[in-house]
Amino acid sequence: MAQQNPHRVDLGNALVRYLGDRMSLKQLDHAMGWTSGKASRVADGKRTLSERDVRELAELLSLNASDADELQGLAALARKRKAHQFIADYAASYVSFEQDAVEIDAYSDLLVPGIGQGGVYAAAVLSAANPVDVAERTAARLDRQKILTREDPPVVRLLLGEGALHKHVGGQVGLRQQLEHLLSQIELGRMQVGVDRFTSGAHQALGSRFNIVRRANGDARVYIEGALTSTYLHEQEDVDAHQVIFDRAWELASRGERSATILRKRIQLLA
């Protein structure tokens, strides 16, 4: 399962950084009076720290006021549950991180990613997974797209397999409305859309679906969603590898006015 809050990873990284060579994680457990393995789980981003934990830790490590405040702030963020109640637990980590994004790259060979979905299309996708609370879950998904209209919106690149322009999600009407939605987002400058044509040949991303999200501080995550669960990657080598895969596929794709023209033609055929 994905972690509930991605800020736990940030807290874990900070703990390891401040700990440095002073003591091991096992020694930290002993010094703090924690149960065995707690420090290791915090370092791995699997649990958080209370305000009291941070105060005692700052005293133990003789942190200055600035560093202690940073650690306290990270712990507070790590304790938050930012995701909407109607968002699946396994997607909560990604959604939380997405809200702070400055860049989002998303590849999907058959399904338009959530950040680019229109209402009818999103409802069809969510209904297929679970027919309960579809209206509420659809509203939660569309609410996430408010980041595209904020004062400092993220740079979004969606790379779609051409099959996504033909799959009748929501029926013919649902697909047409979805393509109209994508075209409007392009024309409003809210996102770039690339189309991986059937004729473009093989590349490493084929058959996969993943999102790469970056924050202003350069921190990045890769989110890979399956039918019932997800994989959430934060190691730099994993992020870099997926970025290379995405960028290579992006270069092969039809982009800009070419992708807009492809969308217009498909919309006309679906009318």
Of 42, 59, 79, which residue sits at a domain end? 79
pLDDT digit string (tens) for 58-86? Answer: 999 999 988 888 888 888 877 765 545 55
- Residue 260: both structure tokens together: 């807009």
Q: What is the pLDDT of residue 79?
A: 77
Mean pLDDT for the stretch of residues 38-44:
90
Quote the percentage of the chain above a pLDDT of 70.
93
Of 58, 79, 100, which residue sits at a domain end? 79
- Measured N-to-C along each axis, helices 171-187 and 257-270 cross at an angle, to the nearest 10 degrees, of 150
- Whether 232 and 131 share a structural domain: yes
- Whether 252 and 133 share a structural domain: yes
- Whether 73 and 94 share a structural domain: no
- The answer as to whether 217 is a domain residue is yes
- Whether 27 and 133 share a structural domain: no
Query: From the centroid of its chain, how far is CA 202?
Result: 25
Given a cut of 80, whether residue 18 has pLDDT beyond it is yes
- The answer as to whether 1 is a domain residue is no
- The answer as to whether 220 is a domain residue is yes
Q: Can you say whether residue 203 is alpha, beta or left, with left for phi > 0 and alpha for psi between -120 and 50 degrees?
A: beta
- CATH number for the domain including 113? 3.30.870
Q: What is the pLDDT of residue 73?
A: 82
- Whether 150 and 230 share a structural domain: yes
Given a cut of 70, whether residue 252 has pLDDT beyond it is yes
- Whether 35 and 115 share a structural domain: no
Query: From the centroid of its chain, how far is CA 26?
Result: 32
Q: What is the mean pLDDT of the chain?
A: 89
- Whether 64 and 102 share a structural domain: no
CA distance 179 to 187: 12
| Total-model pTM | 0.72
- Whether 102 and 69 share a structural domain: no
pLDDT digit string (tens) for 173-186? Answer: 999 999 999 999 99
pLDDT digit string (tens) for 203-229? Answer: 999 999 999 999 887 889 899 987 777
Q: Which residue range(s) make up the domain with 98?
A: 89-270
130 burial via Cβ count (<10 Å: 0-12, 13-18, 19+): exposed
- Whether 129 and 252 share a structural domain: yes
Q: What is the pLDDT of residue 2?
A: 40
- Residue 215: which of 72, 44, 10 has the closest Cα? 10
- The answer as to whether 237 is a domain residue is yes
- Whether 127 and 224 share a structural domain: yes
CA distance 150 to 116: 16
pLDDT digit string (tens) for 118-158? Answer: 999 999 999 998 888 899 889 888 988 999 998 899 999 99
- The answer as to whether 2 is a domain residue is no
Quote the percentage of the chain above a pLDDT of 90.
59
- The answer as to whether 84 is a domain residue is no
Mean pLDDT for the stretch of residues 46-61:
90
Number of domains in the chain: 2
- Whether 224 and 127 share a structural domain: yes
Given a cut of 90, whether residue 231 has pLDDT beyond it is no
Asked if 82 and 134 count as a contact pair (C-beta separation under 8 A), the reply is no
In the structure, how many helices (H) and strands (E) does the chain have? 11, 6
Angle at 93 between CA 36 and CA 65, to 5 degrees: 60
- Whether 242 and 261 share a structural domain: yes
Of 32, 61, 79, which residue sits at a domain end? 79
- The answer as to whether 235 is a domain residue is yes
Q: What is the pLDDT of residue 3?
A: 42
